[in-house]
A and B are shown apart, each in its own frame.
Chain A
Amino acid sequence: MKTLLYSVPFLLIASSAIAGSCPQWTVGDLVIDAAWSKATIGDARPGIIYFTVTNTGAEADNLTGIATPAAEMPMLHETVVTDGIASMPHAPAIPVPANGSVSLAPGGYHGMLMGLTAALAKGDTFPATLTFERAGTVEIEVAVEALTAREPTCRQDAS
């Protein structure tokens, strides 16, 4: 139990050090970083956005919306596997816990980019606006990685 208690702050420090090498955006008590997307083949299939939101405040918040000129119909989704079946329903409010963080990452929460305005190529960047219930809106810059990427390049450099 003691080791667990000691290891928790250590892990927090370690993960924020890794995250530090990715660009960050701040709105209120929230810090957004590790914003990335995957290259697409053409513009007919949906694209994706992932990022991490860290809440340095004592009040919980909710991520309620995403907008971007990169797609006609951007939307927050969550991949869920229920009784062995995967689906990705709309996630109208993604909780950002007080003094905690939430990651939009492969296999879970994500921003789904339906109706891409153009194909996304590795190395591209595009803006996205996130809306939080309490903190308000913030514009971030999303880096497009390879279709086969597991995490953003800025995280790989740090490890």
Chain B
Amino acid sequence: MNLRKIRLALWGAVGLAAIASGALYLQSRQQSSAPAVIGSLQPEFDLPDTNGKQRTSAEFRGKYLLVFFGFTNCPDVCPTTMTEVADVMDALGADAARVQPIFISIDPVRDTELGLGEYVGMFHPSILGLAGSEAQTKAAAESFRIHFSREADPNAPDGYTMSHSPALYLVGPDGEWLRQYGYGTPAAEITQDLQERL
């Protein structure tokens, strides 16, 4: 009987903690998707495109950026998200001119060898592929507060695979962080959210 009471109390505590952390999570989500305020996160990148031209976040002021960090040897998560992005761009019609989708390679050496431009172009002609040095890639990832790592895997091609944050990030026309679309967010939902902003 006593044990049962303790167990119930413990489960109650777990439940409360879950509610509390859920509330905190929601609060932080709302803050991160709030309109730009002074001191808000301004994610930046400075990376070469597939023609070798250096591209920076600053040159895209006035546009919304849909940013994805991925690698082209990823046959499941990355094509799924790129397909959603392609559908969003088609669904936006004329408004698509104000949105720039960007694929930042977290596996730049191999992706450059394999052909990043051809890969992103297969999904939508508007997608800009960027692949820089290790330092430039790390700086961009840190600025967006995302994580990626290279993991040894003897079965994988070249003996390694990448793990990474799979979400899609939205940056506003003033360079401000607006929100993320979690992995698997349907294109229709992203399109509607963008249409409300445009």
Contact = CB atoms under 8 A, between A and B. Distances in A.
A123 interface: no
A47 B83 CA distance: 16
B138 to A, nearest CB: 16
A148 B123 contact: yes
Interface stretch (B12-20, B36-44, B49-57, B159-167): B159-167
Contacts of B156: 114
Interface residues of A, number: 30
A14 interface: no
A118 B93 CA distance: 37
B147 A84 contact: yes
Interface majority SS on B: helix, strand, loop or mixed?
mixed
Nearest to B151: A87
B72 interface: yes
B157 A46 contact: yes
User: Considering residues A48, A90, A150, which has the most beta carbons from chain B within 10 angstroms of its beta carbon?
Assistant: A150
Contacts of B167: 84
B86 interface: yes
A88 interface: yes
Interface in A99-120: 106-107, 110, 112-115
B155 interface: yes
Contacts of B76: 48, 77, 79, 88, 106-107, 110, 112
A52 B82 CA distance: 24
A148 B80 CA distance: 8
A85 B145 CA distance: 12
B75 A85 contact: no
Given A84-B165, A85-B165, A107-B80, A41 B115 contact: yes
A147 B184 contact: no
Nearest to A77: B76
Nearest to B119: A41
B162 to A, nearest CB: 8
Contacts of A113: 75
A44 interface: yes
A75 interface: yes
B161 A88 contact: yes
Contacts of B118: 41
Interface of A: 38, 40-42, 44-48, 73, 75, 77, 79, 81, 84-88, 90, 106-107, 110, 112-115, 147-148, 150
Given A38-B79, A107-B80, A112-B75, 16 more contacts: A45-B72, A45-B73, A47-B75, A48-B75, A48-B76, A84-B147, A84-B165, A85-B163, A86-B164, A86-B166, A88-B77, A88-B161, A107-B183, A107-B184, A147-B79, A148-B83
28 contacts: A41-B118, A41-B122, A42-B115, A45-B72, A45-B73, A46-B73, A46-B75, A48-B75, A75-B155, A81-B166, A81-B183, A85-B147, A85-B163, A85-B166, A86-B165, A86-B166, A86-B183, A87-B161, A87-B163, A88-B76, A106-B79, A114-B156, A114-B157, A147-B79, A147-B123, A148-B122, A148-B123, A150-B83
